[in-house]
Amino acid sequence: MQADSREHIVSLIDVMKTYQQGKVEVHAVNGVSLDIDVGDFAVLCGPSGSGKTSLLNLIGGLDLPTSGEIRVDGIDLASLDKTELSNVRKNRIGFVFQAYNLIPVMTAYENAEFVLNLQGVSEAECRDRVMETLKAVGLEGLENRRPDEMSGGQQQRVAIARAIVTRPAIVLADEPTANVDSHTAESLLDLMQKLNSEHGITFLFSTHDQHVIDRARRVIRVHDGKIESDETKA
């Protein structure tokens, strides 16, 4: 059952991220206020340097804002120490990176299982959840293959399985179709839309890929570190 879409999974309030380049201050994120709702299938889009990846990294707790407030699943990220922040990333946020970031010596099963082990999930539950998730992403029968024995699309499916097997509050995907061909990209987007519609998993993408933008239900355009527009499709 899909969760109530009026609930906010992510809330940003007047968020700034400023970098010093020589004597010049660069506002990568400039006074952004934004809510991401439970069940959203949303995309942050804009040209290179627009601030979309900086926003995604802030929401994922990979970076901290210069000022402003970021809440994920009701938790104020700025109030956490490094260990607590790591626990939020481990337990509440799933990440899908354009470079896959799989552990090369581990099989598909072991890569998907990795975070569950960090969470202390029992071996029996690990196996049930990993096998169910690999089946959901179309990798049934490939669980014993290492990344170098898989295609780019299959590796990205492992990355998606790893992101969702922990049952996170939100999945953040940074350019998830960047390193695959157009047919594979469409297949991956089909998969993520199915996970969103059938399982209520919230997805937020950062991309400039028009195919991803076209598939999103909500399109948030970023320019010069600010929200330029925020549209939800009928």
Residue 2 domain-assigned (yes or no) = no
Structure token digits, residue 150: 């898989």
Residue 220 domain-assigned (yes or no) = yes
pLDDT at 38: 94
Query: Where are the alpha helices (H) located in the chain, listed in sequence order?
Result: 52-59, 82-92, 108-119, 123-136, 152-164, 182-199, 210-215
Residue 3 domain-assigned (yes or no) = no
Residue 29 domain-assigned (yes or no) = yes
DSSP three-state, residue 156: helix
Local confidence band at 3 (pLDDT 50, 70, 90 cut-offs): very low
Residue 25's domain is classified under what CATH number?
3.40.50.300
pLDDT tens readout for residues 39-93? 999 999 998 889 999 999 999 999 999 999 999 999 999 899 999 999 999 999 9
Residue 181 has pLDDT above 90, yes or no: no
CA 47/CA 225 separation, integer angstroms: 11
Q: Domain total for the chain?
A: 1
CA 176/CA 58 separation, integer angstroms: 18
pLDDT at 2: 37
32 and 46 Cβ atoms separated by less than 8 Å? no
Residue 35 domain-assigned (yes or no) = yes
Residue 69 domain-assigned (yes or no) = yes
pLDDT tens readout for residues 108-140? 999 999 999 989 999 999 999 999 999 988 899
Residue 94 domain-assigned (yes or no) = yes
Residue 1 domain-assigned (yes or no) = no
119 and 166 Cβ atoms separated by less than 8 Å? yes
- Domain span at 159: 8-232
Q: What is the pTM of this model?
A: 0.88
135 and 164 Cβ atoms separated by less than 8 Å? no
